[in-house]
Structure 1
Amino acid sequence: MSDSSRPTIEITLLDRQYVIACPPDEESKLERAARYLDRAMQGIHAQGKVVDREKVAIMAALNIANELLETQDEQRAGEQSLSELNQRLEKALSDAPGR
């Protein structure tokens, strides 16, 4: 498929339009991600400390990456807790009288 025939979608980030190649079945995910990124960029831009679009995008990307890593850490901790509880339950069941 040539570049000119690839499906695209238009997104808006910090009041600027971008045309992005995107398979039709992924459009809603891309639109959702673009809205999330745009809100993050708007928030940084609204503070007035960072004006350059590239720097705003980098700060937003760093903030989102930090959110992702914190969420992954919380998920791993939750999985570890579940694993420990499962081991305690299995031990309690195996130590139960009548087994």
Structure 2
Amino acid sequence: MNTSVSDPVALRLIDREFLIACSPEEREGLLEAATFLDRKMRELRANARAPSFERLAVLAAISVTHELMALRKQHETQEQRLSEGLATLRHKLDAAFEENLVKR
């Protein structure tokens, strides 16, 4: 987070409130992240037997991290395909230009 801080922002996770200092630019994103995490923790709580807040937090962290890693891998795969496609296109363009130069 940025070093220039504003008044703390209140984040609610399950039934607990946390005050987090952040810059004004980070406030909206932090609130969105807290809302996402709160939903994830509530979803996990609905499917668990008497879970503690700490256990829910760990399970949510693992779940969100797993989702992030899967998205990163998907992004890397798409980026690799795009790079390969661009290299193929560049090769075809080079060959076409070369062929055009030879014909002159």
The TM-score, its normalising length taken from structure 2, stands at 0.84
What residue number does 1:62 align with? Answer: 62
Looking at structure 2, the residues matched to 29 and 50 of structure 1 have their Cα atoms a distance apart, in angstroms, of 31
- The answer (yes or no) to whether the contact 1:50–1:56 under 8 Å persists in 2 is no
Looking at structure 1, the residues matched to 49 and 65 of structure 2 have their Cα atoms a distance apart, in angstroms, of 20
Aligned residues with identical type, % of pairs = 32
- The CA RMSD over aligned residues, in Å, is 1.5
CA deviation vs aligned residue, 1:32-56 (integer Å, no higher than 9, x gap): 0000100110000011335111010
Which residues in structure 2 correspond to 1:37-52 (within 5 Å)? 37-49=37-49, 51-52=51-52
Looking at structure 2, the residues matched to 91 and 28 of structure 1 have their Cα atoms a distance apart, in angstroms, of 45
Cα 1:6/1:24, change in 2 over 3 Å: closer
Aligned length, in residue pairs: 95
1:73 maps to a residue whose letter is K
Looking at structure 1, the residues matched to 49 and 95 of structure 2 have their Cα atoms a distance apart, in angstroms, of 62
1:89 maps to a residue whose letter is L
Query: Larger radius of gyration, structure 1 or 2?
Result: 2
**Which of 97, 100, 103 is the matching residue for 1:98?**
100
What residue number does 2:53 align with? Answer: 53
Runs of 4+ deviating beyond 4 Å? none
Runs (5+) with no aligned partner, structure 2? none
- The answer (yes or no) to whether the contact 2:6–2:24 under 8 Å persists in 1 is no
Looking at structure 2, the residues matched to 67 and 48 of structure 1 have their Cα atoms a distance apart, in angstroms, of 20
SS at match of 1:7: coil
Runs (5+) with no aligned partner, structure 1? none
